[in-house]
A and B are shown apart, each in its own frame.
Chain A
């Protein structure tokens, strides 16, 4: 149960970061100057800041909302956990792949690292690892459980 709570809190934290980056992208928060935002302005103003025409932080916001909803549901209604754990792994695997793609862009194409993007990528990695451990535990419990 504790791990599921951690998952929900991680997703919520990621959602806050994504919301900040979305507002930053639309010029509603942060300094409208270059050089004072730990590389975020370089990343956010690059042509890669849009994915399928939608700002990348908005994708993050939507993704974290889903990840939070899944983790929260498993805490609130434990009988759904076995089914939802697989969804959490599946969705966070997609998020992890997307994060790796964004990290590669930052390192090798844009040549700038935004610290808030890195924080989000670490959250996705932790979420994925914890949700995977839940599924693996569930599988081993099923395998060793009473026949």
Chain B
């Protein structure tokens, strides 16, 4: 009886220590940086090919290029889009220091993000690609878990005074479906497995990060360029 109690106490200690080690070892991994993605897939494309599939903003001759792979239903991508990007835009992009290329990478686990991505490209025909993308990120909870996301997405588009009939027709025509599929395929070729993922002048960074850390990365790249 006494012996089994000692074994019991030892097992309790083992679970506590083992659990503590496990939790500590899975510590914060925001903004993991490396030369290549930690994927088993070897990149078969280069980050410079992003120009062909992504939506770019900023001077094409800027010394630093940020390629972002993002999913419109990913809250960490929303954090980057709503907190980091707006702060980086005036001081780095509009001053010609950084070119930012946004590449759609709808994850299979987010069933509605592909449709949302297609709609943002449709909105691009009305000159509101970035506006709709921002609004989709802001209102993610209104559409990301819907069985049929189209009504909610179109209702959000309507708030931006977009022509929703034209958007719906564009979505149904499938004219941008291949484009989003192509960007998704490109992400897989680059070894992307999670969003947001970045290539900053070719250096791979996975995960969202606070503005200060992102700015520090950009400054480091600018000083080295």
- The chain A residues found within 8 Å of chain B, CB to CB, are 1-2, 5, 8-9, 12-13, 15-16, 19-20, 23, 27-36, 39, 41-42, 45-47, 75, 109-112
Contacts and interface: CB of A to CB of B under 8 A. Distances in A.
B29 A34 contact: no
B161 interface: no
Contacts of B193: 35-36
B41 interface: no
A82 B12 CA distance: 23
A12 B12 contact: yes
Given A12-B16, A47-B145, A31 B75 contact: no
Contacts of B19: 12-13, 15-16, 19-20
Nearest to A37: B194
* 5 closest A-B pairs by CB: A16-B19, A34-B74, A36-B194, A33-B194, A35-B194
Interface of B: 1, 4-5, 8, 11-12, 15-16, 18-19, 22-23, 26-30, 32, 71, 73-77, 79, 107, 109-111, 141, 145, 193-197, 206-209
Contacts of A15: 19
A36 B38 CA distance: 11
A36 B109 CA distance: 10
A114 to B, nearest CB: 10
Contact of B4 (A2, A12, A19): A2
Given A23-B23, A42-B110, A28 B28 contact: yes
B23 A32 contact: no
